[in-house]
Chains A and B, each alone.
Chain A
């Protein structure tokens, strides 16, 4: 599903974000990426949805060699994965419903199908009643749930999350992690970069720890730190 071999990523030729990364994630896995700020977690996530390309090594996601993917193929690749961010990245001038529907509109999905799937996704994140609200009218937790609904509405094979609870209080964070876990139960492969120690420890998932751009720990049913 995801395979990185000898991946190195440098910026401007000398700032090394990642080096010597070898990582394999199987279908249906749930993986936490942990480590201090600047360890390379975000860069690793960016490599996975082809926002960045590796300087050296190969990144295979869903059978695609992302380093060699043509520009015109990127949108079609991204439609197969969902991405969730710390800052939600919602369209401010569109309603909750439209934000979620947007992910389907770009794919030429028929209108009837869109409504059914959007309402279903909003049901999963428990936001059906707020479908006509605008992002500014929502709490942070609600906005992140919209973002998750947008990511899930296309039934992605992989769900990536970069600090999804970075701006949220613990009880709201709990809801978000529950949603990610639920998506994982339905078969979606989930990779989450996070600082939320308590949840990593409680959920007992695979933990990959990065430090200064290298993988220093990779354990099944692990905790935030050794």
Chain B
């Protein structure tokens, strides 16, 4: 294995210019993969920020006792997907209404004595996809009369989420395919440049594995170095861009560049780089072997 990497390294240096060009193309393709990932991650982050504002309301039966309310709150907290729950008493509800209809406060006069509002709880979920299951779980709890949530908004958000995911996936796959082709082509050129050497190797009884291992490793190295360069560039650009955005558009939620995000970028690009390099060279080698 060491021999194969040493040979691969020699091979890369021997064809300096062509190696540099494939490295450059791999770098560009992987940068696009990484950029797609960052855009996708940020859209998801914004999406999450928006959907965290959405909640489910459950109306409780009238005249419920404080003890019963406590029981219901405890039960609600146990439902998977629930992030937060608050109790709104009929009196609080009325206050909310008064705030909303300040100009027509007189209409609400007299309601204090005979408050028609039911007590209710407001439940925040961890994500938009949890709303339906949380709502149906709420309906099962004794003392809950009715459950309402914004079905339409929730459905739309879910649909947008799906489209974003597909678009991101399509972007990553197409960029990955481009890298595979680029690396594959580069390896094919290397094999072609060294066809006499390969013929001689075969002649003296080198196995296919022995002959192809250095070329395969060359693909891995190209993918690896391309990934490192692309990660470095993306992290740098993202650092400046996120600072600039925070300064100019403070209300825009931007995923912060923390160690988690840095690790994610590195992991994703290095794994993609190695996979793409390995796959690309394997593809060319298969062609050459048959």
Residues of A participating in the B interface, judged by any CB pair closer than 8 Å: 49, 71-72, 74-79, 83, 89-91, 93, 102-103, 106-107, 150
Pair B206/A75 contact, Cβ less than 8 Å: yes
Report Cα–Cα, A102/B203, bound state, in Å: 11
User: Which residues of B194-214 are within 8 A (CB) of A?
Assistant: 196-197, 199-208, 210
Interface size, B (range): 10 to 19
Pair A103/B14 contact, Cβ less than 8 Å: no
Pair B204/A103 contact, Cβ less than 8 Å: yes
Q: Which of B14, B197, B205 contacts A75 (CB 8 A)?
A: B205
Pair A75/B202 contact, Cβ less than 8 Å: yes
Closest B residue to A85 by beta carbon equals B203
Pair B208/A72 contact, Cβ less than 8 Å: yes
Residues of B within 8 A of A77 (CB): 205
Residues of B within 8 A of A79 (CB): 204-205
Closest A residue to B201 by beta carbon equals A106
Closest B residue to A108 by beta carbon equals B210
From residue A85, how far is it (CB to closest CB) to chain B in Å? 9
From residue B74, how far is it (CB to closest CB) to chain A in Å? 68
Q: Which of A75, A89, A90, A102 contacts B207 (CB 8 A)?
A: A75
Residues of B within 8 A of A72 (CB): 207-208
Pair B200/A106 contact, Cβ less than 8 Å: no
Q: What are 12 A-to-B residue pairs whose CB atoms are below 8 Å? A: A72-B207, A75-B206, A75-B207, A78-B204, A78-B205, A79-B205, A91-B200, A93-B14, A102-B201, A102-B204, A103-B205, A106-B201
| Besides A75-B206, A76-B205, A79-B204, 16 new A-B residue pairs in contact (Cβ under 8 A), listed by A number | A72-B207, A75-B205, A75-B210, A77-B205, A78-B205, A79-B205, A89-B199, A89-B200, A89-B203, A91-B200, A93-B14, A103-B205, A106-B201, A106-B205, A106-B206, A107-B205
Q: Which of B14, B196, B201, B203 has the most CB of A within 10 A?
A: B203
Closest B residue to A153 by beta carbon equals B204
Report Cα–Cα, A57/B36, bound state, in Å: 60
Residues of A within 8 A of B205 (CB): 75-79, 103, 106-107
Pair A106/B203 contact, Cβ less than 8 Å: no
Report Cα–Cα, A77/B206, bound state, in Å: 10
Residues of A within 8 A of B206 (CB): 75, 106
Residues of B within 8 A of A78 (CB): 202-205
Nearest 7 pairs between A and B by C-beta? A78-B205, A79-B205, A106-B206, A75-B205, A103-B204, A75-B207, A89-B200
From residue B40, how far is it (CB to closest CB) to chain A in Å? 44
Q: Which of A71, A75, A83, A93 has the most CB of B within 10 A?
A: A75
Closest A residue to B290 by beta carbon equals A71
Report Cα–Cα, A74/B197, bound state, in Å: 18
Residues of A within 8 A of B196 (CB): 89
From residue B88, how far is it (CB to closest CB) to chain A in Å? 76
From residue A163, how far is it (CB to closest CB) to chain B in Å? 16
Report Cα–Cα, A89/B266, bound state, in Å: 45
Closest B residue to A76 by beta carbon equals B205
Q: Which of B14, B197, B199, B210 contacts A106 (CB 8 A)?
A: B210
Residues of A within 8 A of B204 (CB): 78-79, 102-103, 106, 150
CB 8 Å contact bits of B225-266 with A (1 = contact, 0 = none): 000000000000000000000000000000000000000000
